[in-house]
Amino acid sequence: MRFLFIIQGERKSNLTQALALEEILIRNGHQVVEMLVGTSPDSKIPGFFNAASHSVIKRFIAPVSKYSMNEGSDDFKNKVLETLNNLPDYYKSMCYINNRIHKTKVDLVINFYELLTGLTYALFKPSSPYICIGHQYMFLHDDFMVPKNRRFSYSLLKIYARLTSIRAKKRIALSMRKFQNSETQKIIIVPPLIRKDITAIPSNSGEYLSGKIVDSEYYRNVMRYHWMNPHIKIHLLNNLSEVEDVDAVNDSLNIHPYTEEKLLNLLAGCKACINTGDFESICDAMYLGKPILMIPKNHDQFFCTTEAVKMGAGIFSNRFDIDELLSFSNHYSPNKEFIYWVHTCEGIILKELDKLLNKNVCDDVSDYSKCVSI
């Protein structure tokens, strides 16, 4: 079978999920013809994605879908106005997406949370069917509970999720734990898509903490904690141009230039880790058995953090509370059910694609390991 991926490229998790699904499809004899990646005009497709993908990659201009925890109605209005100003570029992108779908004549289009895909299907109605994949489709699930103090923010996230999936045949909701499928919302629950880079790397418990510098506030908090607790070993990956890369600040603090390989190696060997609670980082850490301090920066990450805490993966905090993380790590046990759940991902996805395309449906729904080909 032939597939076309359309990916919202501003979120790393969308890119890594696309790579993981590409691995699954190729391993089972299918072809990903092209990957269309949407980014803002000033962004580039990350180097790790270009290096890891086996498909033809093409870029188009797309809206940025990032909202912070502190945004209110004025910030939302500004984003709407920015989107309206860029409508001519987005319309060109939709025409381009429609053209690529028509030219490639694929059996199925798979959308990784890209808004313009839903709008393209609403406006042009391409002949190739499509499905959507992302943890964000859990927002539409019948059993999803909206926090009382975040109803407005989550209503926006739900609207956005619906717009990315207009006319979609199915919504594949990636989830850290099992839920019932939702027929009313066309939602299929699937385990997280985790790359082979994570599942193949050996994990061991070291004596240091790992994290990635995501903004200047994060960097200041780390440095403040380090000077007060110089005996705690910390390894950080630096993704900010204003912070100098210094492999060894001193005996207990190391700041490394950011690379995917370094990120995975540090995570696999750490005692515990700190992240912003994004879906990919949580799932990678849980798979490798690492306790997590999660400091979410937006409402999407807050939802993921809430789910991870329910599963005993780590702790939520509004501040850089490493002492609490170290205390938690002393009695932490890896979630083996999560690892088993992840291992069923390939079979579940292939079975759902099989059902969707009406070819060689697997009869034994209780044994996902038998569903290995469409």
d(CA 113, CA 102): 20
Is it the case that residue 70 has pLDDT exceeding 90? no
CATH topology of domain 2-193+344-370: Rossmann fold (3.40.50)
Is it the case that residue 374 has pLDDT exceeding 80? no
DSSP 370: G
Task: Output the pLDDT for position 244.
Answer: 62
Is it the case that residue 362 has pLDDT exceeding 60? no
Task: Output the pLDDT for position 187.
Answer: 97
Q: pLDDT: is 367 or 205 the higher one?
A: 205
Over the stretch 156-199, which tens digit does the pLDDT of each residue have? 889 999 999 999 999 999 999 999 999 999 999 999 999 999 99
Is it the case that residue 76 has pLDDT exceeding 50? yes
Buried b (16+ CB within 10 A) or exposed e, 319-357: ebbbeebbebbeebebbeebbebbebbbbbbbbbbbbbe
CATH topology of domain 198-336: Rossmann fold (3.40.50)
Under a CB-based contact definition with an 8 Å cutoff, are residues 233 and 209 in contact? yes
Listed ranges 55-69, 201-215, 241-255; the one with the highest mean pLDDT: 201-215
Over the stretch 26-42, which tens digit does the pLDDT of each residue have? 999 999 999 999 999 88
Task: Output the pLDDT for position 42.
Answer: 87
Task: Output the pLDDT for position 146.
Answer: 72
| Residue 66 banded pLDDT, cuts 50, 70, 90 | low
The predicted model gives 116-131 an average pLDDT of 97
DSSP 182: B
Task: Output the pLDDT for position 369.
Answer: 47
- Do 2-193+344-370 and 198-336 agree at the fold level? yes
The domain segmentation of the chain, as residue ranges, is 2-193+344-370, 198-336
DSSP 246: B
**Residue 101 structure tokens:** 């779908």
DSSP E strands in 128-282: the ranges are 130-134, 171-174, 187-190, 208-213, 233-238, 253-257, 272-275
Average pLDDT over the chain, rounded to whole? 88
Q: What angle (nearest 5°) sits at the alpha carbon of residue 120, between those of residues 117 and 122?
A: 110
Q: pLDDT: is 77 or 42 the higher one?
A: 42
Q: pLDDT: is 363 or 39 the higher one?
A: 39
Task: Output the pLDDT for position 238.
Answer: 87
Over the stretch 263-294, which tens digit does the pLDDT of each residue have? 999 999 999 999 999 999 999 999 999 999 99
Task: Output the pLDDT for position 86.
Answer: 85
Task: Output the pLDDT for position 246.
Answer: 57
Task: Output the pLDDT for position 243.
Answer: 63
